[in-house]
Amino acid sequence: MTGKITGISGPTVITDIKGLKLYERVFVGNAMLTGEVVRIEKDRSVVQVYEDTQGLAIDEPVQSTGMPLTVRLGPGLLSGIFDGLQRPLQRLKEESGPFIRGVKELSALDISGKWIFHAVRKKGEQVSTGEIIGYVKEGPFEHYISCPADVKGKIAWIAESEIHLDRPIGVMEDGSEIPGFYDWPVRVPLPYKRKYSPTEPLVTGQRSIDFLFTIAKGGTAIMPGGFGTGKTILDQSIAKFADIDIVVYAGCGERGNEMAELIEEFEMLADPWTKRTLMERTILCVNTSNMPVAAREASIYTAVTMAEYYRDMGLHVLFLADSISRWAEALREISSSLEELPGEEGYPTYLASRLSGFLERAGVVETNSGKTGSLSMILSVSPPGGDFTEPVTQSCLRTSGAFLMLDTSLAHRRHFPAINWFQSYSLYGAELLEHHAEKFMPEWEHALSTCKEILQKEEELREVAEIVGVEGLQDADRLLMHTAEMIRMKFLCQNAYTDDAFSPPARTLSIIKEILDFYKTADEKLKQGVQLDEILNEKKNK
Ligand SMILES: Nc1ncnc2c1ncn2[C@@H]1O[C@H](COP(=O)(O)OP(=O)(O)OP(=O)(O)O)[C@@H](O)[C@H]1O
Ligand SMILES: [Mg+2]
């Protein structure tokens, strides 16, 4: 169906096409800009255009597609760099130059590419939806091809060895085909059999997270922090060092040059766990601040659907977004252009439900093919003015399992990562700790409680010290203050630009143990009557 543009206001376009469905994808204007139907009225529909609408005019054509906004899922997404609509940026640049404008169709996958297929099912065998029929090797991973929805029965033909994605990989006896790739609506989570509660820690290589506020594989964490508190650096450090199979990084409304640096770095650096280049395990979905705002709302859905796709291979996938606040602002912009009733701070009233619906897509699941995969999420939040009572932080808080509060005063003191150890929390503690104890060392739990105690006491003593001065404190208290400082400076601080940027669990434990051992020995010496200054001098000379 086609119709005409009857009104334009920024990225919002009114059209007279009849029979459109909500969230249907349409092509707008002579430039064939991509848009999504966001409101339907009796004889007009409102379309949100995801590209720059400059130059668009009344009466230009609008074309419906009958399909919602989809992502293309198949082998070859890894190491891809896509925009918010899953268009591969490199090819987009080759086709339209650095200033992207209205490219109608550009497949995310190179569908003419060849792959070597290893069949695991044979001709004549019975298969049904979700079952794996074979795999291709994508980097270090086995990329499974499964039977799509509504296809079941006996296999009449199955490919051997070389396949082309644009041709079927298998044909059933009733003539239905098993394709190499498929398109999936971005706003619909990929189906799975069941969800489990997360039990395994996600090692991030950041001591303050791994030790104090463990995140789970399949869990969710939010990182709210004011301007310059280190959100981007922390997000990127986790993307580099996390013990995970695949990272999907959504650069949402942040600086373009930061993304460019990230891409350059990822092409050169190796994954510390597998020693392969980081880019091989990464998918980047970019909608930076210099790209059209409207596509930002869709971009996190595009990214998370790709993440779910790899989770369904039985892999551990980490989804990172920097920053979800920019996504919420895009949502607010769309909502206000639709003249919807605004809620708190102008955000639409459905902000909280949208956010929790999004965070719900994380989890450990049994996939339709019977494998276990996980999708973890870490979202950074940029609360305006560093005010954590604002709606985006509050809405995320309700559904996320860990809250890593980035503290402006710590960042000013150059304490990075600036995670506040009193205000942050993780709900994944207890059951995950058991796992730590098994896999790493039983001392973990003991060290954690001692460390927390010392930091807590330091806070209490700090107030006293402000009145009487540190010198006025008793030796035992001065020792505690000294130890707490060691914990802060040598353990919790981690410079992202040095070799210390990555701290595997064994190293994390050895550093904290060394500090706590010093404390224990020094405390015993104090009790035997040795002076604190003497103990500290001895340590300095060591
Ligand atoms: N782990 C770290 N090690 C050393 N320096 C750091 C670390 N984290 C942050 N910094 C310093 O803080 C600066 C700001 O960090 P970053 O850009 O990540 O902040 P941000 O919270 O993303 O800021 P914005 O709100 O502007 O996006 C960095 O340029 C760097 O100098
Ligand atoms: Mg940033």
Give the ligand whose atoms come closest to the C-alpha of residue 382: 1
pLDDT (0 to 100) of residue 93: 67
Count Cβ atoms within 10 A of the Cβ of residue 310 and give its class: 0-12 exposed, 13-18 middle, 19 or more buried.
buried
Gap from CA of 52 to ligand 2 centroid (Å): 24
pLDDT (0 to 100) of residue 441: 61
Give the nearest ligand 1 atom to 233 CA.
18
351-354 — which CB contacts under 8 Å span 24+ positions?
351/391, 351/392, 351/395, 352/391, 352/394, 352/395, 352/398
Q: Name the residues around ion ligand 2, CB cutoff 5 A.
A: 231-232
Minimum CA distance residue for ligand 1 atom 30: 230
pLDDT (0 to 100) of residue 268: 84
Gap from CA of 275 to ligand 1 centroid (Å): 26
CATH code of the domain in which 50 resides: 2.40.30.20
Confirm whether 86 is domain-assigned: no
CATH code of the domain in which 522 resides: 1.10.1140.10
Looking at the DSSP assignment, which residues form a beta bridge with residue 373? 365
Confirm whether 389 is domain-assigned: yes
Q: In whole angstroms, how far apart are CA 31 and each of 51, 53, 91, 100, 277?
A: 10, 9, 18, 11, 38
Gap from CA of 199 to ligand 1 centroid (Å): 31
Structurally, the chain folds into a number of domains equal to 4
Return the half-sphere exposure (C-beta side, CA atoms, 13 A cut-off) of residue 66.
Answer: 1
Q: Return d(Cα 102, Cα 35) in angstroms, integer.
A: 11
Q: Do 168 and 198 have their domain in common?
A: no
Confirm whether 82 is domain-assigned: no
Q: Are 172 and 154 in contact (CB under 8 A)?
A: yes
> Mutation test of ligand 1: which of 204, 227, 233, 412 has the most ligand atoms closer than 8 Å to its C-beta?
233
Q: Are 302 and 84 in contact (CB under 8 A)?
A: yes
Helices (H), 413-470: 429-439, 443-468
Binding pocket residue ranges, ligand 1, CB within 6 Å? 225, 227-233, 254, 382, 416-417, 494-497
Gap from CA of 212 to ligand 1 centroid (Å): 21
Q: Return d(Cα 300, Cα 111) in angstroms, integer.
A: 24
pLDDT (0 to 100) of residue 274: 84
Q: Are 234 and 406 in contact (CB under 8 A)?
A: yes
Amino acid (1-letter code) at residue 522: A
CATH code of the domain in which 357 resides: 3.40.50.300
pLDDT (0 to 100) of residue 105: 66
Give the ligand whose atoms come closest to the C-alpha of residue 208: 1
Our CA dihedral for 208, 212, 213, 216, rounded to 10 degrees, sits at 100
Confirm whether 132 is domain-assigned: yes
Q: Do 64 and 130 have their domain in common?
A: no
Q: Do 411 and 448 have their domain in common?
A: no
Q: Do 216 and 135 have their domain in common?
A: no
Q: Do 152 and 200 have their domain in common?
A: no
Q: Do 330 and 370 have their domain in common?
A: yes
Q: In whole angstroms, how far apart are CA 382 and each of 272, 291, 488, 513?
A: 29, 19, 25, 35
Gap from CA of 404 to ligand 1 centroid (Å): 15
What residue numbers bound the domain in which 317 lies?
Answer: 194-428
pLDDT (0 to 100) of residue 329: 92
Q: Do 414 and 472 have their domain in common?
A: no
Minimum CA distance residue for ligand 1 atom 4: 495
Q: Do 170 and 209 have their domain in common?
A: no
Q: Do 298 and 216 have their domain in common?
A: yes
Tokens representing residue 250 in the block:
């959504």
Minimum CA distance residue for ligand 1 atom 7: 416
Show which of 394, 428, 462 is a domain's final residue. 428
Q: Do 268 and 221 have their domain in common?
A: yes
β-bridge pairing 220-224 and 402-403 = parallel
3-state secondary structure 67-129: EECEEEECCCCCCCEEECCCCEHHHHHHHHCCCCCCCCCCCCCCCCCEEEEEECCCCCCEECC
Confirm whether 438 is domain-assigned: no
Q: Do 452 and 532 have their domain in common?
A: yes
Amino acid (1-letter code) at residue 363: G
pLDDT (0 to 100) of residue 430: 67
Give the nearest ligand 1 atom to 323 CA.
27
Give the nearest ligand 1 atom to 258 CA.
17
Please give the model's pTM, rounded to 2 decimal places. Answer: 0.93
pLDDT (0 to 100) of residue 438: 61
pLDDT (0 to 100) of residue 338: 84
Gap from CA of 238 to ligand 2 centroid (Å): 14
Show which of 180, 207, 225 is a domain's final residue. 180
Confirm whether 416 is domain-assigned: yes
Report, in angstroms and rounded to the nearest whole number, the Rg of the chain calculated over CA atoms: 27
Give the nearest ligand 1 atom to 495 CA.
3
Q: Do 198 and 175 have their domain in common?
A: no
Q: Residues in the chain with pLDDT < 50?
A: none
Confirm whether 164 is domain-assigned: yes
Confirm whether 522 is domain-assigned: yes
Three-state DSSP at 519 gives helix
Give the nearest ligand 1 atom to 254 CA.
27
Looking at the DSSP assignment, which residues form a beta bridge with residue 15? 5, 45
Show which of 395, 428, 461 is a domain's final residue. 428
pLDDT (0 to 100) of residue 409: 93
Supply the DSSP symbol for 539.
H
Gap from CA of 276 to ligand 1 centroid (Å): 26
Gap from CA of 68 to ligand 2 centroid (Å): 32
CATH code of the domain in which 161 resides: 2.40.50.100
Three-state DSSP at 405 gives coil
Q: Return d(Cα 371, Cα 364) in angstroms, integer.
A: 10
